[in-house]
Structure 1
Amino acid sequence: MFLEKLKHIKAFILDVDGVMTNGMLLVTESGEFLRQFNIKDGYALQLAVKRGFKIAVVSGARSKGVEHRLRGLGITDIFLGLDSKTAAYNEFMEKNGLLPEQVLFMGDDIPDLELMKMAGLAVCPADAVEEIKAAAQYISPKNGGDSCVRDIIEKVLKIQNLWISADPSSADGSKI
């Protein structure tokens, strides 16, 4: 069932902190917040963009550094500083003519719960909070910031024959 759903994915919507990063913030003396991104996630994201997938990032974070990193990967639908992520989700869906079953959302914490219920396929990193894990249809074996984004994008691209090889692995982590 999980692998079958991957065949219909045309878009990814991702949270930042706790998904694309490990959720830790380094605060500089000047008050800047620094985040660490995983280069493997970056490779998968830019490849998905090149393969024609739509990608949106939704986050409560307000960071020029985050936006700069995402734009460098070819991501143009970047929604930062959000109090609620549903308006951004709806805007992205309408703009791209997407149906919920064509969208995969990855979140890790309570502010992501509503989108977990709205997206056709809800996934999360291994270290997501329990409420998010309960709503997820797939729990990556990878933690946030430790290539969990790569894990799910690679599975989608493989099942759609858009990766280097097409074996998404039978150890898919889906719930039974």
Structure 2
Amino acid sequence: MFLEKLNHIKAIILDVDGVLTNGMLLLTESGEQLRQFNIKDGYALQLAVKKGIKVAALSGARSKGVEYRLKGLGIQDIFLGLDSKLEVYSNYLIQNDLSPDQVLFMGDDIPDLQVMKLAGLAACPLDAAEEIKSISHYISSKNGGEGCVRDIVEKVLKIQNLWTDVDPSANDAHSGRK
């Protein structure tokens, strides 16, 4: 059942803090919030974009750094500073002519719960809140910010035969390597 769901995925929507990052914030003296992203997650995401999978991020966070990182991966649909993710999620599906069974949503905590219940495939990191784990179709063996996004994106791309056709131009734009 899980593998069959991966065949239908046309869009991957992600929470940021606790999914793309480990959920920790480093605060500078000026109050700037710094986050750490996993380079392997980045590789998988930019490849998914290049292979035609829609990728979006929904987050309560307001961060230019997050926006810069995601845009650098080719992700254009970035929704930050959200009080509620449900309305943005619903509008995103309508605007992109997607049905819920074509959407994978990865979240980790209570603000993601409503959207995850509506997504065709709900996934979470290993260290997600218990309420999130209980409704997830897939729980990664990796924690948030430690490769959980790579884990699920790689599965989607492999089941759709999009992973092994490695394009030498496919790289993480922020890795410093081509």
Q: What is the TM-score normalised by the length of structure 1?
A: 0.93
Q: How does 1:1-176 map to 2 (within 5 A)?
A: 1-164=1-164
Q: CA deviation at 1:87?
A: 1.3
What secondary structure does 2:94 align onto? helix
CA–CA separation in structure 2 for the residues paired with 1:68 and 1:94: 26
What secondary structure does 2:105 align onto? strand
Q: CA deviation at 1:92?
A: 1.1
CA–CA separation in structure 1 for the residues paired with 2:95 and 2:113: 22
CA–CA separation in structure 1 for the residues paired with 2:75 and 2:47: 11
| Aligned alpha-carbon RMSD (Å) | 0.7
Can you give the 5+ residue segments of structure 2 that lack an aligned partner in the other structure? Answer: 166-178
CA–CA separation in structure 2 for the residues paired with 1:121 and 1:158: 16
Report if the CA contact (8 A) 1:56-1:92 is conserved. Answer: no
CA–CA separation in structure 1 for the residues paired with 2:54 and 2:79: 14
Aligned amino acid, residue 31 of structure 1: G
Q: Cα deviations across residues 52-99 of structure 1 (Å, max 9, x unaligned)?
A: 011110000000000000000000110000000011101211111000
Q: What is the TM-score normalised by the length of structure 2?
A: 0.92
What fraction of aligned residue pairs are identical, expressed as a percent? 75
Can you give the 5+ residue segments of structure 1 that lack an aligned partner in the other structure? Answer: 166-176
